[in-house]
Amino acid sequence: MRKASRLTRFNVASLALGLAFLYLPILILVLYSFNASRLVTVWGGWSLRWYRELFNDRAMIEAAWMSLRVAVASATIATLLGTLAAVALSRGERFRGRTLFSGMLYAPLVMPEVITGLSLLLLFVALNAERGFWTVTMAHTTLTMCFVAVVVQSRLGSLDRSLEEAAMDLGCNPVRAFVAVTLPLIAPAIVAGWMLAFTLSLDDLVIASFTTGPGSATLPIRIYSEVRLGVKPEINAICTLVIALIAVVIVIASLASKLSSSQGESAAPL
Amino acid sequence: MLRIEGVAKSFGTFRAVDGVSLDIKAGEFFALLGPSGCGKTTLLRMLAGFEAPDEGRILLGGKDIAQALPHERPINMMFQNYALFPHLSVRDNIAFGLKRAGMARAEIATRVAEMIALVKLDGLEKRKPDQLSGGQRQRVALARALARRPQLLLLDEPLAALDKKLRESTQGELMELQRRLGMTFIIVTHDQEEAMTMASRIGVMKSGKLAQVAPPRELYEAPRSRWIAEFVGDINLFDGESKLRDGHRLVIGTRDAGALVVAEPREPVGAGRFAVAIRPEKVKLSRRGPVSEAGRETAINRLDGVIADICYLGGTTTYKVKLDTGGVLQASVANSARIDVDAYSLNQHVVAWFTPDDCVVLQS
């Protein structure tokens, strides 16, 4: 049985310092988004002024909307493709060049973003594609698909193959066996992969700035270009909203996974 | 009912199953026994349809099913690790195959209830597999495999994950169930005691081939080869050097145990290596050898020696006797009295004796 280990003074201190290092900057940012003063570093009392101003800033709102759309679209496509790739790599027959294929799939994980972005830009220019929503979405799909594939493949790898065999033994053809047994069991990994792809896309600056066109800036691009002219408290406000969104997504994700894993326990008679 | 004809399967250059032919009758409890890597699991998986044989036919009720997919066969399998669906309750696990068969809801409910009663899982219908004990999981797996009323049930090491006590009681329950349902069971096991206890016939496999197919008693008392004799139970083996016919008996000269008189084997002993085999429990020990006239008559093999090792096992004691002729003979003696003042002690002189009918001549 697990024993509650006692926290020593040293543990508490290192924990506090670690948390402070991670979250203090964010906390300050959130705090200053409610600042009444125009100066970013001077506290002028509580106010929602910058949020009002933010909602009147059409360009910022449009960039946020663009980012959200790109994130949802690219995460969805990447999840679909990444899951298929993971299934093919861990469940398919051994085909020639499988190692090469899986290596190539994971290349974007370690490839510097600048290179990915630049090569995609060259591709889009060569294809004479109009750069905007779809080019950014495609670029982000390329980037995030491998993350989804890694997450889903590790789950598939830990899954007992005899479960699928049992399903087939009990009357499922291979496709039905996958849908009835494998898919529900890897669903948490697929959801996690989607969340990962979503957040990766939402905060990507490098690839987006290479592949986007005029008039379709994503939120990170917009914030970056604003900040170059000096930090406005409005930026703090939009960042706070993004943090809130991500926090909500994470809470929902962990609640969902907790619910799905403890479903049985609540149904069992005590 | 099931006929396997010359089935072979290779993985790369390794011949996992190498030309196995076997007939299994309806209602039989058949065990495939062998050490790990002998191909028994591969053979079972070919019956279930997870592997396709490279050669040969598998006939079920006269129809060749060798290339049929698992879901097209009226055969179900109980997996070694049970392979219960972790996201489904006990009830849904059992109902899984019935739903796929397109059975009506009401009928499924009746069948599931029947299965749950059959394997005594009442009250656990709503639990998930991870909330069950090992024994309960084993029952769910059994119920799930039986629910579709297959013509043939395959069991892959069904009791390997259970502890000894539970394994023994489950063996009894499985046999009971098989008799009651009149279903054909094929079990794969590496545990010879398990095979002996449960099966009506045992097929011993070695390197992809069937070494012997026989009922348990025949397998134990009349093994066909030296390897089988050593694999199934304990045995004393003495390599033969010369043989001499004496009426309907053979006198075989051995290096380690001198001349031994054995009953003439059914098949004549040919050229090549051969050995005399005696099961330890067939060997009797005494201080002075057989006393009665009748005893002296039959106990023709009489070997003198010294107790070299004593292994007390509760119900029996195994003595290792160092023979004066050089060899070592194991004798298993039942501890039929609680207080045995006559128990042998180390370095004691004893006479080991056994009848010619207790010996088997083994070739190769």
Residues in chain A: 270
Phi and psi, residue A124, nearest 5°: -65, -35
Is A167 touching B (CB cutoff 8 A)?
A: yes
- Determine the topology of domain B2-226 in CATH: Rossmann fold (3.40.50)
Mean pLDDT value across chain B: 90
Given phi > 0 = left and psi -120 to 50 = alpha, else beta, which region is A247?
alpha
Mean per-residue pLDDT for B89-108?
93
**CATH topology agreement for domains B2-226 and B234-363:** no
Q: Which residues pair with B251 in a beta bridge?
A: B244, B261
Q: Return the percentage of chain A with pLDDT > 70, whole number.
A: 92
- Name the DSSP class of B93: H
Give me the CATH code for the B234-363 domain, please.
Answer: 2.40.50.100
Contact B128 A160 (CB under 8 A): no
Q: Which of A168, A185, A263 has its CB closest to that of B70?
A: A168
Distance from CA of A171 to the nearest CA of B (A): 4
- Tell me the longest C-alpha to C-alpha distance in chain B: 75
What's residue A3's pLDDT? 52
From chain B, the residues in CB contact with A184 under 8 A are: 87
Provide the pLDDT confidence category of residue A256 given band limits of 50, 70 and 90.
low
State pTM to two decimals: 0.80
Between A4 and B47, name the one with better pLDDT: B47
Report which of A91, A75, A70 is spatially closest to residue A212, judged by C-alpha positions: A70
pLDDT at B9 over 90: yes
What's residue A263's pLDDT? 43
Distance from CA of A150 to the nearest CA of B (A): 23
pLDDT at A261 over 70: no
Q: How many CB atoms lie within 10 A of CB A159?
A: 18
Range in A168-177, A230-239, B224-233, B262-271 the model is least confident about: B262-271
Each residue of B173-213: pLDDT tens digit?
899 999 998 899 999 999 998 999 999 999 999 999 999 99
A194 and A148 in contact (C-beta within 8 Å)? yes
Mean per-residue pLDDT for A237-250?
87
| CA atoms of B99 and A160, how far apart (whole Å) | 22
What's residue B41's pLDDT? 92
| CA atoms of B104 and A63, how far apart (whole Å) | 55
Contact B83 A162 (CB under 8 A): yes
B253 and B242 in contact (C-beta within 8 Å)? yes
B333 and B320 in contact (C-beta within 8 Å)? no
- Name the DSSP class of A6: P
From chain A, the residues in CB contact with B85 under 8 A are: 163, 166-167, 181
Report which of A112, A66, A63, A62 is spatially closest to residue A224, judged by C-alpha positions: A63
Contact B71 A169 (CB under 8 A): yes
Each residue of A116-145: pLDDT tens digit?
999 999 999 999 988 889 999 999 999 999
How does B317-328 read in b/e, with b if 16+ C-beta sit within 10 Å?
bbbbbebebebe
| CA atoms of B286 and B294, how far apart (whole Å) | 16
pLDDT at A270 over 50: no
CA B57 distance to own-chain centroid: 25
Mean per-residue pLDDT for B208-237?
93
Q: How many CB atoms lie within 10 A of CB A133?
A: 16
Complex confidence, ipTM: 0.81
Long-range contacts of B110-119 (CB under 8 A, 24+ apart): B111/B147, B112/B147, B115/B143, B115/B144, B115/B146, B115/B147, B116/B90, B116/B91, B116/B143, B118/B143, B118/B146, B118/B177, B119/B143
Report which of B5, B353, B6, B8 is spatially closest to residue B208, judged by C-alpha positions: B8
Range in A161-175, B188-202, B288-302, B303-317 the model is least confident about: B288-302
Instruction: Please report the domains of chain A, with CATH numbers, ordered by start residue.
Output: 60-227 (1.10.3720.10)
Chosen for mutation from A169, A173, A182, A265 (greatest number of chain B CBs closer than 10 Å) is A169
Contact A173 B101 (CB under 8 A): no
Contact B131 A184 (CB under 8 A): no
Indicate the domain borders of chain B.
2-226, 234-363
Q: Is B158 exposed, middle or buried (0-12, 13-18, 19+ CB in 10 A)?
A: buried
| CA atoms of A270 and B53, how far apart (whole Å) | 49
What's residue A267's pLDDT? 34
Each residue of A75-123: pLDDT tens digit?
999 999 999 999 988 877 677 777 888 888 888 888 898 999 999 999 9
Range in A87-101, A193-207, B116-130 the model is least confident about: A87-101
Q: Which residues pair with A161 in a beta bridge?
A: none
B147 and B92 in contact (C-beta within 8 Å)? no
Q: Using DSSP bridges, classify how beta strands B152-156 and B29-33 pair: parallel, antiparallel or unpaired.
A: unpaired
| CA atoms of A141 and A198, how far apart (whole Å) | 10
A109 and A146 in contact (C-beta within 8 Å)? yes
Token pair recorded at residue A256: 């969902």
Contacts of residue A223, defined as CB under 8 A and 6 or more positions apart, other chains included, come to A63, A235, A238, A239
Distance from CA of A178 to the nearest CA of B (A): 12
| CA atoms of A112 and B32, how far apart (whole Å) | 57
Distance from CA of A192 to the nearest CA of B (A): 18
What's residue A265's pLDDT? 37
Each residue of A5-35: pLDDT tens digit?
677 889 899 999 999 999 998 898 888 888 8
First to last CA, chain B: 34
pLDDT at A264 over 50: no
Provide the pLDDT confidence category of residue A213 given band limits of 50, 70 and 90.
confident
Between B137 and B298, name the one with better pLDDT: B137
Is A175 touching B (CB cutoff 8 A)?
A: no
